[in-house]
Amino acid sequence: MSPTPTHPLARLTADEIEAAVKILKVANLVTEATRFAYLGLAEPTKAEVLAHTPGAPFNRIVKALLLDLTTGDTKSVIVSLTNGLVERVDPIDTRTQGQAPILDDDLFAVGDIVKADAGWVEAMARRGLTDLDKIIPCPLSAGEYGFEGEEGKRLLRVLSFVQHRPSDHPWAHPVDGVVAYVDLIARKVIRLVDHAVLPVPQEEHNHDDPAYTGPPRTTLKPLEITQPEGPSFTVDGDEITWDAWRLRIGFDAREGLVLYQISNAGRPIVYRASVAEMVVPYGDPSPTRFWQNYFDIGEYLIGLQVNSLELGCDCLGEIHYFDAVLPTTTGEPRVVKNAICLHEEDYGVLWKHTDIFTNSSEVRRQRRLVVSYFATIGNYDYGFYWYFYLDGTIQLEVKATGFIFTEPYRPGNPYANQITAEIAGPYHQHLYNVRLDMMVDGLTNAVEELDAVRVRTGPGNEFGNAFTRSTVRLRTESEAMRDAHAAAGRVWKVLNPNRLNAVGQPVGYVLIPQAGPLLLADEGSSIRRRGAFATHHLWVTRYHPDERFPGGELINGNPGTGGLPAYAAQDRSIDGEDIVVWHTFGATHFPRPEDWPVMPVARCGFTLKPTGFFGRNPTLDIPPSAGHCSPG
C-alpha cells in the first residue's frame, strides 16, 4: 500500500495509478489493444491549492490519454479517484489535434515493420547491408508536412544505424540516403525515400572501450565532499526546506520534474515551475533529414525516460534521492529508484570585503541547493538542474550530453561539421521553454522590460558619459512577446505592484536570459508553426489552469494548433494580474570534434534574481566558515 496523499499536489502513488486504471477498465474503456499514452495527476487549480489547509479533504483527479494500437483511436479521459468514476471522455481528432505521444511500443514495432518491407531490405542491400540483425532502425517523430496520404496518420520516420556487435555504439555508423516513413497503425512502410547511396562509416568510436580511450590517466587524486553533521535540508514527503527556502517537488511523465510553491522566508516567488516543452530542430535540408525536429517533452514524454541515479557518480556528497512512480503503457505503476537528486553544493565566495580604513576583512561562502534529474532520449542525455542560492537567486541549468546525432561526412555540406574522417555532426538547436507560474509576494504581478540605454550628449550630459536604464511595462499578452537583447543587457522584471520594499519600489525578481539564437528555421516552415513558442525568448500570459503547454496539448503530428500563440492571441491584460511567464532558452549546436564520441556537458539556462525583493543583502547573517577564516 502506498501512503495516502496528504497534499493536493502530492505525486500520484502506485496505488492511485492502479486505481485509475481499474476505474477505466470497469468503464469498458480499456481493451487488449489499449495503451496509456499518458497518465498523470490532473492538478487542482491554483485557487484550490492555495485555499487548502493541512488535514482538509481534497479531490484526486487523474488525466489519461488512451490509444488503441490497432485502430489509432485516441481518447483523452478524466478519472476521479475520489468518486471512483470516469468524469469525461473526449475523443481526439488526430487530423487537427495531433497524435498521442510516441510510445515504447512504437519504438519496438518499427524494427519489425521496416525489416519486413522488401523495398527497405533492398535499399539496405544496395548499401552492402545484408545482415539485418546488425541494422538498428531509429524511429523518429515525423513532424507534420501535409504530405499526401499522411493526414491524421500515426507516423514515424525511420533512419538507420549499423551496430557491429552488441557492445558497439551504432551512432558511429549512420546509414544515409534512405528513410522509411512508417504508418504505425497499418504497421507498414508507406513511403521509402532512397535518394543517395553513401558509404556507411566503418570506424568504431566506443567511449566505454579502454582499447579506444587508452588507459585511465593517473593525475587526479580523490576529491570527496563530506558533511559530517549531515545536509542542511529537511524533507517531508515531497516538501523540501533548506535555509530560508521552501518548495515542493512533483514528477510528471511528460514534463519530468515540476517544482511547486517556491518561497523564501515565507514569501512566495513561483507557484509552479517546469520545463514545459523543448524542440531540437536540425538544419540539414537534405531529402533524408529535412524533417528532423524532435519535441522531447511533448512527443517523447521526457519524464518517462528518467534515469536511475547512482550515489557518488551522478551527485556527490550527502544526497537525498526521491524515487519516481510512473505508469507503463499498459497501465501498471513502475518505480524508478533514485530518480530525483537533492543535495547541497559549495559555490565559492558569497561576499567579501577587505577594508583599508577599518582593517576589517570579512568573507562568506555561497552555497546552493540542487534539485535535479537526468533523462535519456535516444542518443542524447539531458540533465535538468534547479539551483537555489543563499542570496535568493533561483537558477535553472540544462545539461546536454551523450552522443550527437550523426551523418556520413559529405565534402562541401554547409549544414554539418566534420568530426571524424567519416562522420559529420549536423547543425541543430536545443530550444527549451520553461513555464514559470509566478507569484512574487502574491498573485498580483506585472512585468517590465529593462534595457541599458546610452544617453545622447547634450544639455545635462555635456560630456557624453551618461547612461541609464529604460523601463517598459508590458501591459498585454501581445505586447509581451519579446526577444533578448544582449547588447542592452535586457532583463525582464516580474514585480508585485501592491507590495513595496523599504525604499518604496515594488518588490520583484528579474529574469536574466542567456541571449542566443531563437528558432532559425525560416518563416513558412512546418517547424515554425509547430514550435512557434521558440520564436520569442519571452511570452507572458494570464494564468489559466488549462494553458500548460507551449506547443499545445498534443505535439506529435500536430500541424501547429494551440499552445502559446493561441494563448497569447486572447490578448488579455497581464498588468497587475495572476500571470505566467514563459521563457525560451537553449543552445544552437555546431558540433565540434571534441563533442565526439561522447559530448562533455553543454550548459544553458537562465537566472531569476531578487531585485528589490529584499531590503538589503539578505545574507549578512550567514556565519563565517568554521576554523581559520572566523573573524578576528
Interface with Cu ion (CB under 5 A): 589
Catalytic residue, chosen from 176, 183, 194, 296, is 296
In whole angstroms, the minimum distance from the beta carbon of 587 to Cu ion comes to 7
Question: Do residues 533 and 584 make contact, with C-beta atoms less than 8 angstroms apart?
Answer: yes
- The residues, any chain, with a CB within 8 Å of residue 365's CB and separated by 6 or more, are 346, 347, 348, 349, 350, 622, 625
Round to whole Å and give the CA distance between 193 and 538. Answer: 38
Residue whose CB is less far from Cu ion, 100 or 396: 396
- 3-state SS string for 545-582: CCCCCCCCCCCCCCCCCCCHHHHHCCCCECCCECEEEE
Find the shortest distance in angstroms from Cβ 400 to Cu ion. Answer: 6
> ∠ CA 498-504-507 to the nearest 5 degrees?
50
User: Whose Cβ is closer to Cu ion: residue 127's or residue 589's?
Assistant: 589
Radius of gyration of the chain (CA): 26
Give whichever of 435 and 589 is closer to Cu ion, judged by the CB atom.
589
Shortest gap between Cβ of 430 and Cu ion (angstroms)?
5
Please say which residue, 430 or 490, places its beta carbon nearer to Cu ion: 430
Residue in this structure with the C-alpha cell 534595457, named with its chain if needed: 451
Alpha-carbon distance 370 to 379, whole Å?
25
282 is catalytic: no
Instruction: Please state the closest distance from residue 433 (CB atom) to Cu ion, in A.
Output: 17
CB of 602 to Cu ion, least distance (A): 7
Residue labelled with grid coordinates 506547443: 551
Q: Which is nearer to Cu ion, 160 or 429 (CB)?
A: 429
CA distances to 102, 143, 560 from 526, in Å: 19, 8, 8
Selected catalytic residue, list 38, 321, 373, 380: 380
Residue with Cβ nearer Cu ion (150 or 595):
595
CB of 299 to Cu ion, least distance (A): 17
Minimum distance from CB of 404 to Cu ion (Å)?
A: 6
101: Cβ contacts below 8 Å, ≥ 6 apart: 37, 38, 65, 254, 298, 299, 300, 301, 554, 555, 556
Neighbours of 113 (CB within 10 A): 22
Range 362-400 burial, b when 16+ CB lie within 10 A, else e: eebbbbbbbbbbbbebbbbbbbbbbbbbbbbbbbbbbbb
Shortest Å, Cβ 556 to Cu ion: 21
Nearer to Cu ion, 249 or 431 (CB): 431
Pairing between β-strand 446-454 and β-strand 491-500 as defined by DSSP bridges: antiparallel
Given its phi and psi angles, is residue 55 left (phi above 0), alpha (psi -120 to 50 degrees) or beta? left
Active site (annotated) includes residue 380: yes
**For residues 20 and 159, which CB has a smaller minimum distance to Cu ion in the complex?**
159
Cell numbers given for 482:
519579446
DSSP reduced 3-state for 431: strand
The three three-digit cell numbers of residue 157, written as one number: 520516420
> HSE-up of 616 (CA within 13 Å, CB side)?
3
Enumerate the active-site residues: 296, 380
